[in-house]
Structure 1
Amino acid sequence: MGRELYRDQPVFRHWMRHLDQYYYGITGNSVIDELYDKDYPISQPFDSLPLTHPAIFMIEYALAQVFMEQQIYPDYVFGTSLGEFASCTVAGALDYTSALESLVVQADIVQNHCEPGGMIAILEQVSLFHSEPELYRNCEIASVNFDNHFVVSGGAAGLSEVETYIKKRKVTYQRLPIHYGFHSKWIDPAGALYKRYAASCSLKSPQSGVISALAGGACASFESEHLWNAVREPIRFRDALKTLLPMEDKIIVDLGPGGTLATFIKHNHSLFGPDGVLSLHSVLSPFHKDMNRLEQVLSKIKWERVTT
């Protein structure tokens, strides 16, 4: 995630190092060492919760700083799941030290109090879930991302039964590199401890609009429980996306670690009318070429702002 940006983009590198120093002060470990200083093959899963939680936040927040350094500021930020921490921070509702520390604490509590489980993305109509006991008895819906894509969460044993069943049905699916059942009852054992911690986090009124996939729409203020509910409750992605309609007057930029948000938005074309999303960009992708994509996106945004 972002290796080329870390090497060649000074603002991104500065913020990644700055955040990593804070992370090191909390944990004695380095996210950057794991992301960039070891030659892991691309096929090796990056699935250690104490690293993935902060890494996702660090990437998104550092990349947002690159855009703001170029005087490109958001009218809205839109986060899903862990992305809600980055969006709240970019919007000024949460400071970055509190956001990073809260993710470290969350990862530790989940690891130490929740049974192993996971999440599976299924490429099929969500009606499959509701019609098949093998699914709804063993897992819960974590998110419906577009017409033929939903995600389920569950415990280890239940997900194994789900995986066996959908294989027999020859349904396309992907087991996500996550070892806990986020956005479901399978992480409830972490709830009380984490909410007690989150009560000490100060969330302010955001300085820009915040679209929350937890709320399924815009949020003008936040309670401390938002930090827990963002990873416990189902993701209302499509409801939240509708808040941004009409799309044709907006420039949308995906600052996530893999371009997933942009992909999901493209597949929700039925929401947008005949013109679809006219200006949708992503920087990071599994195919890398980060610097080239960043320069293209910055140029397109500046041009679109001038011409409109």
Structure 2
Amino acid sequence: MSRPIAFMFPGVGDHYAGMGHGLYQTEPVFRSFVDQCTALLSGHLGEDLREVFHPAGTARGGPSLAELLGRRDGTDNGRRPAAVDRTLFAQPLVFTIEYALARQLMSWGITPSAMVGYSLGEYVAACLAGVMSLEDTVALVARRAELIETVPPGAMLVVLLGEDELAERLDDELWLAAVNGPMLCVAAGTPDAVRRLEARLTEDGVANLRTPTRHAFHSAMMAPLSEPLEQLLHTVELHPPTTPFLSNVTGTWITDEEATGPAYWARHLRQTVRLHAGLGELWRLPSVIAVEVGAGTMLGSLAATHPGRPGGDPPVFATLPGASDTQHDLAALLTVAEKLRRLGVPVTTPHADERDDHGLLAGR
């Protein structure tokens, strides 16, 4: 019997110009879903987002998001931000790449038994689980991103403290945005409040890192969007999930009532992301294999180091290279597919000798 697969979908933050460009060039399935999503999105945003995300001359191994923004410390250093950093474009594009990547894996027989998405990533999970149609999800993601850009600027700070310790340092302009680990949380709030917190933490010797965002996601600064989001959700047909996925809001498996309730998705944007609790639930699944479906290794790293991880070495795989990784997209994906095949997953990729004309799998 095949081991269960859990798809993990990142949110924004590790995305970069050229993400998935190699797969778009070589994989018809991936390309067809990217084209489908971007065609739907262009009707909402008035842009062909393939041009925004894959500008001329951008390919794998190109500049990272931080380099495009001239960043070294989480600020834009006075330079004009790149289009991929705008919420209006970044969120729909991250959804598109992750959705198309999941469909590519599924076309090879790598099918999830469970899923978890981080922030925006939960929309990918919900769409794949049949809670929302692709057309409705794309419209929701686009409108949600558009609404976010109407709220005042905010900031977010990753902090190496536990939830209770960080909560003691928050004021009425700061909120607990995410609990990613026992000693890894995210604070969100007004730019001034985050700067003050950053300075106090640095003075106290507490490691912290500003995130490359201009909004305070998962905080009370998103509260004004709850009503318009809920109204929008009332126009969408919602269904119970056909594949279980973990809720950011509760940190456990989403219920049918939550998944089909517009109020849940309105809360989802402003409430704390309970990833650490969710990963604990994920590791309760017997012999589960976790596959990060998106750029980088953030979720995979958190899953691999989670204290609830079973004994031994449960496999955690990442499917798409990070911004600073020069590995070809297809090489990364085929390497994961081969490792899954060796673990007994019935993967049906094309033969390596038909796909390795350029030595993509050398040394795998």
| Structure with the bigger percentage of helix | 1
Q: What is the identity, as a one-letter code, of the residue corresponding to 2:126?
A: C
Alignment-derived partner of residue 56 in structure 1: 94
1:20 deviation in Å?
0.7
Per the alignment, in what secondary structure is the counterpart of residue 295 of structure 2? Answer: coil
Q: SS in structure 2 opposite 1:255?
A: strand
C-alpha RMSD over aligned residues = 2.0
Q: Are 1:21 and 2:43 matched, yes or no?
A: no
Deviates more, 1:37-46 or 1:228-237: 37-46
Pick one of 30, 34, 57 that aligns with 2:52: 34
- 1:283 matched to which residue of 2? 319
Equivalent residue, structure 1, for 2:189:
154
Residue 115, structure 1, aligned to residue 152, structure 2: yes
Does the alignment pair 1:171 with 2:206? yes
The answer to whether structure 1 residue 2 and structure 2 residue 20 are counterparts is: yes
- 1:225 is paired with a residue whose SS is helix
Q: Secondary structure at the match of 2:246?
A: strand
**Alignment gaps of 5+ in structure 1:** none
Q: Which deviates more from structure 2 when the two are superposed, residues 166-175 or residues 227-236?
A: 166-175
CA distance in 1: counterparts of 2:310 and 2:42, whole angstroms: 48
1:106 aligns with 2:141: no
Q: What is residue 271 of structure 1 aligned with on the other side? A: 308
- Which residue is equivalent to 2:110? 72
The two structures have a TM-score, normalised by structure 1, of 0.91
Given that residues 80 and 212 in structure 1 are in contact (C-alpha distance below 8 angstroms), is that contact kept between their aligned partners in structure 2?
Answer: no
- Matched-pair identity in %: 23
Structure 2: gaps spanning 5 or more residues = 1-18, 70-83, 347-364
Separation in 2 of the partners of 1:143 and 1:161? Answer: 19
Opposite residue 280 of structure 1, the aligned amino acid is V
Q: Once the two structures are superposed, what CA deviation does each residue of 1:236-263 show, in whole Å capped at 9, x if it has no partner?
A: 1122122223356111111023222111
Counterpart among 293, 299, 306 of residue 338 in structure 2: 299
Native 8 Å contact 1:80 1:214 kept in 2: no
Aligned twin of 2:279 = 241
- Quote the Cα distance in structure 2 between the aligned partners of 1:220 and 1:127: 27
Q: Give the 3-state SS of the residue equivalent to 1:180 in structure 2.
A: coil
Identify the range of structure 1 (165-174 vs 27-36) with the bigger mean alpha-carbon deviation. Answer: 165-174
Q: What is the 5 A alignment of 1:163-242?
A: 163-221=198-256, 222=259, 223-242=261-280
Q: How many residues align?
A: 302
CA deviation profile, 1:47-94 (whole Å, cap 9, x unmatched): 201101101111110001001111221111111210110000111111
Match of 1:90 in 2: 128
Q: Residues 201 and 158 (structure 1 numbering): CA distance in 2 closer, same or farther, change over 3 Å?
A: same
TM-score normalised over the length of structure 2: 0.78
Q: Is the 8 A contact 2:158 2:184 kept in 1?
A: yes
Alpha carbons 1:248, 1:275 under 8 Å: kept:
no
Q: Structure 1 residue runs of 4+, over 6 Å off? A: none
State the alpha-carbon separation in 2 of the partners of residues 188 and 86 from structure 1.
22
